[in-house]
């Protein structure tokens, strides 16, 4: 038997109804904040991710699905392509490619699958979905302002509340600008020197190539050592400190609670200044429901103009898991099961179904070869609210037998009144 590949899964009804309703709420909230949707390709050139997410990150170093495309001619070497492990890089690539700075401040959102070769477990998959948003534009359009950071964070608080997610918490940090990071990396390197031989092999490598990434380490034995390392908060320059302070002040003024966490450095290299994560208690080990931050130098590092930006990505799979903790999902039921009765009645039933569906009635169609008993059984299995019988006599009379499955009442209804009757109005 061929099964879904490890780390991928089928989303089945009724769960898909929950995904759809969550996405509808998300789209409404984005609309209120004037965000517009962007859809970028699912695969991009590998270089896009190595230059943005960073060579030394877990994602690029070991989790990407990468392959070499065929060249145009047989002798030609193909391009290295990668299934996107995240969507910010694609959005910034599109920003540069389409000169979106000509629009001023861009507020873009996306919903779609991402791919990482991680060890699968509950809440962690190899194909997973993210709902994300970015605010990006020239500094002259206000993209650098702490007001944007606060707007994004307040949007997220509103979004989680509107979705009915209870008990989330926001962890906030500033990872400073490139200059702060250089000084911090130096200090980290020094602090790591005497202790790194006792750490895991990954940390030993990170200590040399990109010491900040030591904070991504999950090895329990390394944690007490990591606790003693200097923190980025001690290395912020005055503009970064002021920027971070301003973000916090707006959040307090709008009533969004947060906790400061100066260990939070996020697993991607492009972050600058504000970095954040929202966690949710009910999710267990994989408790990060979303993460994000500012990425002021990203556009330039991809060959674009200066374009400060800030964004986030919600793990949609985890969002749905959190929703399932609080709500039971029920499969929506059809309003009516149309039961053609006898030869030639499929045609009539199809016409009726078309008329009713055009009036927003959810209709399921039977088959003229079914005996009436079988039609009723099929209707019950689907939990249809009504059964509509379409036989030769009914068609001739222009009135149809409609049985209400909940009350058991059966009446004859003229064709013109069917939709209203089924909807429950007289």
Q: Nearest approach, Cβ of 202 to ligand AMP (angstroms)? A: 17
Residues 6+ apart with CB under 8 A from 368: 340, 341, 342, 343, 344, 345, 346, 349
First to last CA, the chain: 52
Q: Nearest approach, Cβ of 65 to ligand AMP (angstroms)? A: 12
Q: Nearest approach, Cβ of 123 to ligand AMP (angstroms)? A: 6
Burial class of residue 201 (count of CB atoms within 10 Å of its CB; 0-12, 13-18, 19+): exposed
Q: Nearest approach, Cβ of 161 to ligand AMP (angstroms)? A: 18
How far apart, in Å, are the Cα atoms of 400 and each of 168, 319, 332, 346?
53, 45, 25, 15
Q: What count of other Cβ atoms lies within 10 Å of the Cβ of residue 258?
A: 17
Q: Nearest approach, Cβ of 204 to ligand AMP (angstroms)? A: 23
Q: Nearest approach, Cβ of 173 to ligand AMP (angstroms)? A: 14
Give 57 or 145: the residue with its C-beta nearer to ligand AMP: 57
Give 225 or 283: the residue with its C-beta nearer to ligand AMP: 283
d(CA 390, CA 165): 46
d(CA 17, CA 403): 27
Give 118 or 364: the residue with its C-beta nearer to ligand AMP: 118
Q: Nearest approach, Cβ of 271 to ligand AMP (angstroms)? A: 9
Q: Nearest approach, Cβ of 130 to ligand AMP (angstroms)? A: 5
Residue 257 CA to its chain's centroid (Å) = 23
Q: Nearest approach, Cβ of 126 to ligand AMP (angstroms)? A: 7
Give 166 or 374: the residue with its C-beta nearer to ligand AMP: 166
Q: Nearest approach, Cβ of 344 to ligand AMP (angstroms)? A: 52
Q: What is the DSSP string of 289-340?
A: EEEEEE-TTHHHHTT-----EEEEEEEHHHHHHHHHHH----PPPPSEEEEE
Residue 181 region by backbone torsions, left for phi larger than 0, else alpha for psi between -120 and 50, else beta:
alpha
d(CA 86, CA 334): 37
Give 9 or 27: the residue with its C-beta nearer to ligand AMP: 9
Give 287 or 301: the residue with its C-beta nearer to ligand AMP: 287
Give 86 or 149: the residue with its C-beta nearer to ligand AMP: 86
List interacting residues with ligand AMP (CB under 6 A). 86, 116, 118, 124-125, 128, 130, 267, 288-291, 313, 315, 317-318
Q: What count of other Cβ atoms lies within 10 Å of the Cβ of residue 280?
A: 22
Give 128 or 235: the residue with its C-beta nearer to ligand AMP: 128
Residues belonging to the chain:
426
DSSP label of 124: B
80-83, strands of its sheet edge to edge: 43-45, 80-83, 66-68
d(CA 21, CA 63): 31
Is the Cβ–Cβ distance between 88 and 298 less than 8 Å? yes
User: In the bound complex, which residue of the shown chain has the CB atom lying closest to ligand AMP?
Assistant: 315
Give 143 or 279: the residue with its C-beta nearer to ligand AMP: 279
Give 118 or 325: the residue with its C-beta nearer to ligand AMP: 118
């Amino acid at each position: 038997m061929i099964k879904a590949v490890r780390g991928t899964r089928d989303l089945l009804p009724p769960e898909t109804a929950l995904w759809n309703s969550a996405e509808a709420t998300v789209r409404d909230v984005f609309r209120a904040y004037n965000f517009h949707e962007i859809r970028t390709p699912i695969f991009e050139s590998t270089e896009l991710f190595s230059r943005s997410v960073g060579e030394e990150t877990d994602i690029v170093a070991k989790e990407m699905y990468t392959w070499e495309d065929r060249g145009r001619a047989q002798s030609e070497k193909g391009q290295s392509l990668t299934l996107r492990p995240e969507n910010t890089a694609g959005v910034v690539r599109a920003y540069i490619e389409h000169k979106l700075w000509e629009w001023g401040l861009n507020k873009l959102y996306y919903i779609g699958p991402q791919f990482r070769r991680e060890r699968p477990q509950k809440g962690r998959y190899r194909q997973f979905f993210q709902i994300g948003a970015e605010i990006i534009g020239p500094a002259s359009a206000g993209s650098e302002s702490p007001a944007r950071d606060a707007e994004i964070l307040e949007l997220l608080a509103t979004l989680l509340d509107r979705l009915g997610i209870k008990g989330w918490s926001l962890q906030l940090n500033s990872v400073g600008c490139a200059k702060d990071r250089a000084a911090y990396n130096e200090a980290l390197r020094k602090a790591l020197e005497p202790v790194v031989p006792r750490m895991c092999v990954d940390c030993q490598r990170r200590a040399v190539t990109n010491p900040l990434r030591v904070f991504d380490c999950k090895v329990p034995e390394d944690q007490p050592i990591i606790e003693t390392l200097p923190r980025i908060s001690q290395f912020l320059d005055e503009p970064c400190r002021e920027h971070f302070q301003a973000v916090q002040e707006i959040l307090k003024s709008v009533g969004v609670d947060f906790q400061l966490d100066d260990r939070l450095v996020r697993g991607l290299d492009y972050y600058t200044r504000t970095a954040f994560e929202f966690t949710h208690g009910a999710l267990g080990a994989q408790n990060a429901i979303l993460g994000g931050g500012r990425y002021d130098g990203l556009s330039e590092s991809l060959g674009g103009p200066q374009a400060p930006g800030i964004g986030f990505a919600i793990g949609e799979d985890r969002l749905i898991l959190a929703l399932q903790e609080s709500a039971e999902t029920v499969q929506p039921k059809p309003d009516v099961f149309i039961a053609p009765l006898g030869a030639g009645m499929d045609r009539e039933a199809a016409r009726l179904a078309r008329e009713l569906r055009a009036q927003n009635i959810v209709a399921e169609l039977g088959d003229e070869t079914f005996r009436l008993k079988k039609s009723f059984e099929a209707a019950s299995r689907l939990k249809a609210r009504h059964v509509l019988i379409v036989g030769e006599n009914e068609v001739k009379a222009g009135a149809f037998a409609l049985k209400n499955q909940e009350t058991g009442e059966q009446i004859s209804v003229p064709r013109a009144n069917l939709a209203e009757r089924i909807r429950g109005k007289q």
